[in-house]
């Protein structure tokens, strides 16, 4: 692989698990962490240990079994949180503490009833405290998306001086447009004197459907890590979806980025997360939705059957999806009908297909999808001479 390696920080087990109804038990979390490690993620955010005894144990058990990926635990900028995170990570081969505080004026004034100078001091204190326990400390500037860039640059410089190895710039509320998020990252790259001593991380929420676009814009502006979840799970409208950013960077390899993700495992892990968290994936979801490789209109089907690349930019095998499907609906055409009949072992000439198509379209108008049973019945009746 050539180019710049982008670190994939998976937060399915932390931000993803915050989704109502997605709570996991310890065994499920450990099993998923092992799958995430085989998928090739660089960092697994395993949980928020101070939040509950169950999360503490999960982070501890995950730390015991994960040997290659870094295991990360979340904390607030609270000394006790950081101590508990460190304790949960004690068996980790590569422990990381993720600590931080809100830096937007919204958060500073209405959440902390504080001021910028006080928040800056607390940010530095929490990083210094975490450094007593682990080398790898990631600082998050919560609501960085709505934080004044100049102040964000001051906070970033100060936490890097305090020892932060990664600085996370979350668009916590999913507010930014891709150009605004990219400008924010570029501002840090150009205005923080010690920025070369830390990795900038993108953590984007999907409230306006821009989480993936913003993360990619951030990387193009100089960030080196993307925080994401399988199936885009996460608070409210979710986070950047792992499968989307990974395939964007792979598909557009001329951008000069690569990841370590084993892309053929994307669909299997998507299904596993969906089943374990009991959270269905929308059919039209990019890469892992059930319709991601299904073709149903006549124009598309005809073009696809002539050359798959007319209508598919990714080979389903590359992302571990089932083979592409030709779905028969009232919008389908003769090529698709002939193809599906052929798949069932029926070969007809062009005139027969014209005749069959008239029967097909009547059936198709009466139901959502024409299935193999309908086709078998149509083909057999058509072949039998009238008595
Ligand atoms: O969205 C956010 O700001 C977060 C932080 C805790 C990193 O999830
Ligand atoms: Zn988040």
pLDDT for the residue numbered 383: 73
- The parent domain of residue 357 ranges over 294-382
Dihedral pair phi/psi, residue 253, rounded to 5°: -70, -15
Does any domain span residue 282?
A: no
DSSP per residue over 86-119, as a string? HHHTTT-SSEEEEEEEE-SHHIIIIIS---HHHH
Does any domain span residue 252?
A: yes
The residue behind tokens 């490690």 is 37
Q: Do 40 and 77 belong to one domain? A: yes
Q: Do 268 and 321 belong to one domain? A: no
Q: Do 144 and 234 belong to one domain? A: yes
Does any domain span residue 47?
A: yes
Q: Do 271 and 365 belong to one domain? A: no
Q: Do 243 and 368 belong to one domain? A: no
Nearest CA to ligand 1 atom 8: 15
The rounded distance, in Å, linking the Cα atoms of 192 and 213 is 24
* 138 within ligand 1 shell (Cβ under 6 A): no
Cα–ligand 1 centroid distance for 241 (angstroms): 15
- Domain end residue (candidates: 277, 305, 329): 277
For residue 230, the 8-state DSSP code is G
Cα–ligand 1 centroid distance for 174 (angstroms): 11
CA angle 260, 261, 264 (to 5 degrees): 140
Cα–ligand 1 centroid distance for 286 (angstroms): 24
The rounded distance, in Å, linking the Cα atoms of 201 and 11 is 13
pLDDT for the residue numbered 385: 54
The number of distinct structural domains making up the chain is 2
The domain that holds 21 is classified in CATH as: 3.20.20.70
- Domain end residue (candidates: 220, 250, 277): 277
Q: Do 323 and 175 belong to one domain? A: no
Atom of ligand 1 nearest to the CA of 144: 3
Element containing residue 312 per DSSP (H, E): none
The rounded distance, in Å, linking the Cα atoms of 338 and 357 is 9
Nearest CA to ligand 1 atom 2: 172
> pLDDT means per 10 residues in the chain (387 residues)?
95 96 94 98 98 97 98 98 98 98 98 98 98 98 98 99 99 98 98 98 98 98 98 97 98 98 98 97 98 97 97 98 97 97 95 96 96 96 66
Question: pTM for this structure?
Answer: 0.96
The rounded distance, in Å, linking the Cα atoms of 143 and 147 is 6
pLDDT for the residue numbered 382: 86
Does any domain span residue 387?
A: no
pLDDT for the residue numbered 274: 97
pLDDT for the residue numbered 1: 78
Question: Which two three-digit tokens encode residue 333?
Answer: 């055409």
pLDDT for the residue numbered 2: 84
């Amino acid at each position: 692989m050539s180019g710049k390696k982008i670190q994939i920080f998976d937060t399915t087990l932390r931000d993803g698990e915050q989704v109502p109804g997605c709570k996991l038990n310890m065994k499920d979390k450990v099993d998923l962490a092992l799958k995430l490690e085989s998928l090739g993620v660089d960092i697994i955010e395993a949980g928020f240990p101070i939040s509950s005894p169950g999360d503490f144990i999960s982070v501890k058990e995950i730390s015991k079994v994960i040997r290659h990926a870094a295991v990360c635990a979340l904390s607030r900028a609270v000394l006790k949180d950081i101590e508990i995170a460190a304790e949960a990570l004690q068996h980790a081969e590569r422990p990381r503490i993720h600590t931080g505080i809100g830096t937007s004026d919204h958060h500073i004034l209405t959440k902390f009833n504080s001021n910028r100078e006080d928040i800056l001091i607390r940010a530095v204190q929490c990083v210094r405290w975490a450094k007593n326990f682990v080398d790898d400390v990631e600082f998050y500037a919560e609501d960085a998306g709505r934080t004044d860039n100049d102040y964000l640059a001051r906070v970033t410089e100060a936490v890097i001086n305090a020892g932060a190895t990664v600085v996370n710039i979350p668009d916590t509320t999913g507010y930014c447009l891709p150009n605004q998020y990219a400008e924010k990252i570029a501002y840090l790259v150009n205005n923080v004197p010690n920025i070369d001593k830390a990795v900038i991380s993108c953590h984007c929420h999907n409230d306006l459907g821009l989480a993936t676009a913003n993360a990619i814009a951030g990387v193009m502006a100089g960030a080196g890590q993307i925080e994401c979840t399988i199936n885009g799970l996460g608070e409210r409208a979710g986070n950047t979806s792992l499968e989307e950013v990974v395939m964007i960077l792979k598909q557009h390899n001329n951008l000069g980025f690569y990841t370590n993700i084993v892309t053929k495992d994307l669909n299997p892990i998507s299904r596993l997360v969906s089943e374990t968290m009991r959270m269905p994936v929308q059919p039209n979801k990019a890469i892992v939705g059930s319709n991601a490789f299904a073709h149903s209109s006549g124009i598309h089907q005809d073009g696809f059957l002539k050359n798959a690349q007319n209508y598919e930019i990714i080979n389903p095998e590359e992302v571990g999806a089932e083979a592409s499907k030709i779905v028969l609906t009232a919008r389908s055409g003769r090529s698709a009908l002939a193809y599906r009949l052929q798949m069932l072992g029926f070969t007809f000439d062009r005139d027969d297909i014209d005749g069959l198509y008239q029967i097909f379209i009547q059936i198709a108008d009466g139901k959502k999808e024409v299935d193999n049973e309908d086709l078998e019945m149509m083909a057999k009746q058509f072949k039998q001479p009238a008595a």
